Chain A
């Protein structure tokens, strides 16, 4: 192809054409991938909560209750919820610290992880209490929904804790990439953000 100046194209022009256009990363690939996963997960939980809501609305009076108590332990779970929300806020702070000085975020990420672990452990303790009261996955429709929805969230929280733990370890070693931290943050924000919806819908 002839250049606009009228001269014949030289070998340098061919090299320039062969080079790909410079690419710029508008959004880290890890975050975009995580957002796609989170979108699918949001619809998964929306489906479960939708089924729960419709079944609860259609339940015969007096059948939507625990074997020994009329309601789920919402007050005790409020503490777990506070721990999880605090963990999310701490991770926001850790992200800001990481952008300024990566090493300064180490303790904040660890504290966020510990609060997340506290949530999972206390949820497990609550399950043991409910199983002791006779609420099993087969005892009632409420029990089935409760263990399915809250259990699915617990599994997600445990998985997110693994990711956050790896992020903390790499941060400590000085090998953490911003993309990995953002991916772990995105998933943890999903775990934190979906919980108040589950808590408000299932426990009350």
Chain B
């Protein structure tokens, strides 16, 4: 019964349920853009780094292959 009442209250007044401590400022400041932009940065940054290192390694391996082929043929 308590669960039903609590759910009903939260359903009727969702703004009162600021369970996320970091979201406490959501109502008094316009920091949504900061949240979104930083989420994007923190998502893209590791992926970009892994992709960058992988590309760099791939190019180095290709270059080493070309050198090896060149030295064998000459």
Contacts and interface: CB of A to CB of B under 8 A. Distances in A.
A26 interface: yes
Contacts of B50: 39
B53 A50 contact: no
A27 B35 contact: no
A47 interface: yes
Q: Classify the secondary structure of A's interface with B.
A: helix
Contacts of A35: 53
B45 A24 contact: no
Interface string A32-52: 000100010011001100100
Interface string A135-171: 0000000000000000000000000000000000000
Contact of B38 (A39, A43, A50, A60): A50
A185 to B, nearest CB: 15
Contact of B57 (A24, A26, A39, A60): A26
Interface in A36-88: 39, 42-43, 46-47, 50, 53-54, 56-60
A38 B40 CA distance: 20
A47 B42 contact: yes
Nearest to B33: A57
Could you say which of A26, A43, A46, A58 has the most chain B C-beta atoms within 10 Å of its C-beta? A58
A58 B46 contact: no
Contact of A50 (B28, B33, B42, B49): B42
Interface residues of B, number: 23
Contacts of B34: 53-54, 56-58
Contacts of B25: 58
Interface in B42-74: 42, 45-46, 49-50, 53, 57, 60-61, 64, 68
Interface of B: 22, 25, 28-31, 33-35, 37-38, 41-42, 45-46, 49-50, 53, 57, 60-61, 64, 68
Given A24-B68, A39-B53, 20 more contacts: A24-B64, A26-B60, A42-B49, A43-B46, A46-B41, A46-B42, A46-B45, A47-B42, A50-B42, A53-B34, A53-B37, A54-B34, A54-B35, A56-B34, A57-B29, A57-B30, A57-B33, A58-B34, A59-B29, A60-B29
